[in-house]
Structure 1
């Protein structure tokens, strides 16, 4: 499936409603810019849900202010922190848009974002469940760092985007900028929303969605993704973080879904990479679990066996210490 150019016009007939679930947890320094970027959208058919996941930094007051100024917006102030997956689902199951954006309110939507992605959906196959794009990466103060998909050799991008049936691709490597995704409601509903037992949503969503739905890369910059020390991705693999356990669970799910030799090899590549990250951070129990997944995908290489043996020795040492 070819990439779709960003200049495609939006059809006026049968315009779709797009749900934006704006998720906030202690995003007060960035919140006004994020909400103003919703207001700046050129696409008019929006259903907006403001969801605060028990912020403690004044974010709820800002959300109340915007909700009072825009009475068509929906406001959910959760009394307890439930995590991104459950917070998103709470709004998703009450919403009605044909397409859905999971919008973290430390990021920024560029004005044509929604219009461009709706046009891409309307111009492609009904089996496409996700349209994703390029993103600008910015610091806490908004300084531009570069782009997620960067020009490489010739006209190639790094990481290389993929379109079509991407199940093996999402197992093998990270290439999607999560904040740029627009999802088809039917795809999300078929998956029963996000898995609320997990600490984060994107890897699990990619794996489950790509099994039965196609993905489409739209060659446009539609989003500004903010990178800062408090973001979820910055805490991955640290001691006692819940993200590695969720990654292992997603790999276990994927193991039950692989069908071909290429897909098994893709999962082996993922398990091997995650196992090395776990070992580097002395997460020996998790490294052993990842090796168990690796054993079921292919015959482990000598390096994998060595890593697994080292993990078992280190784990035993830590238990006896």
Structure 2
């Protein structure tokens, strides 16, 4: 079997072939393959034996305009020990045909075409249970993975204790045409992060208080996901709930590099929320209620109160008065109602019926 990885066998003529026609990964690759990267001033080397299997759950719903760059970015990964499952959540825009094309060109990839739209959380879980990788990427197929994304994050995990369940990183935000708009983390001229302020280690109070993780950049330990029972399928979106529940018992780590391009476009989930009768607001409220049961210390309850107050004001601003009223009631349970909250609560008591 010939080798197609020039990092191991640079003389191989097959490197110039299109991806679908390259020969399979040869054993000579496994014998000489390594990941090298700077981590704390040291070079990290992974042997074939120690290289864990990484699962990419590529989740698609009407991503046809962005699907090819996303799937090509999987094939461009420098880390070879990958398991890929393509999950289509009953797209209506021709995405399924593109997914079939890529699955046919990559026989090791699994393809799951769901007959009905299940929503992000249920669809992801359907893909997850069909895989076995030690680490998992939840990959929305309107985003793009940079070539060394998996290799660098696996190398980071290899240097961390088993108590770490998530490695996340910086991202480039791109527009519909793929042009870079800015980075997730805003920095000063020396490259130091200004905002949002990241956190590593035990971050439960941090994820309650504020948003700082770029969801598409996460590499998750499968044991973490399994301990949680996967994503909560009663929710309209997954990340806030995952952060809260995972950070209660697992540590998080920031790999301070750009590993992913996150696409911003009108159809993206992150552009919706807080409108009246919006399912994402209802999910946020439910997660805050779950978080209250997980709080163990006064500082954690205070952090949650800050989040609830912020969410309440956002809901009121967008005239989601019933949702804002629920959040006001949660502030009462937290015994964190301030004078300004009382004034807003008085208005919400009436407006929630409209």
Compute the TM-score of the two structures, normalised by the length of structure 1.
Answer: 0.95
Label 1:156 to 1:69 Cα distance change in 2 as closer, same or farther (>3 A). closer
| Correspondence for 2:36 | none
Deviations 1:140-160 (A, max 9, x none): 001111100110486233111
| Correspondence for 1:169 | 206
| Correspondence for 1:244 | 281
Between the aligned partners of 2:246 and 2:352, the Cα distance in structure 1 is 35
Deviations 1:83-117 (A, max 9, x none): 01000000101100000000000000000000000
Label 1:157 to 1:76 Cα distance change in 2 as closer, same or farther (>3 A). same
Between the aligned partners of 2:42 and 2:273, the Cα distance in structure 1 is 36
Between the aligned partners of 2:329 and 2:67, the Cα distance in structure 1 is 43
SS of aligned partner of 1:256: helix
Structure 2 counterparts to residues 1-321 of structure 1, below 5 A: 9-12=44-47, 13-152=49-188, 155-316=192-353, 318=354
State whether residues 10 and 116 of structure 1, in contact with CA within 8 Å, keep that contact through their aligned partners in structure 2. no
Q: Tell me by how many angstroms 1:130 deviates.
A: 0.2
Label 1:298 to 1:153 Cα distance change in 2 as closer, same or farther (>3 A). farther
Between the aligned partners of 2:145 and 2:64, the Cα distance in structure 1 is 17
- Report 1 or 2 for greater relative contact order, CA contacts < 8 Å, sequence distance ≥ 6: 1
SS of aligned partner of 2:258: strand
- Runs of 5+ consecutive residues of structure 2 not aligned to the other structure: 1-38
Between the aligned partners of 1:188 and 1:75, the Cα distance in structure 2 is 21
Compute the TM-score of the two structures, normalised by the length of structure 2.
Answer: 0.86
Between the aligned partners of 1:118 and 1:229, the Cα distance in structure 2 is 32
Label 1:53 to 1:6 Cα distance change in 2 as closer, same or farther (>3 A). farther
Q: Tell me by how many angstroms 1:264 deviates.
A: 0.4
Between the aligned partners of 2:226 and 2:305, the Cα distance in structure 1 is 29
- Runs of 5+ consecutive residues of structure 1 not aligned to the other structure: none
Label 1:274 to 1:8 Cα distance change in 2 as closer, same or farther (>3 A). farther
Q: Indicate the structure (1 or 2) with the bigger Cα radius of gyration.
A: 2
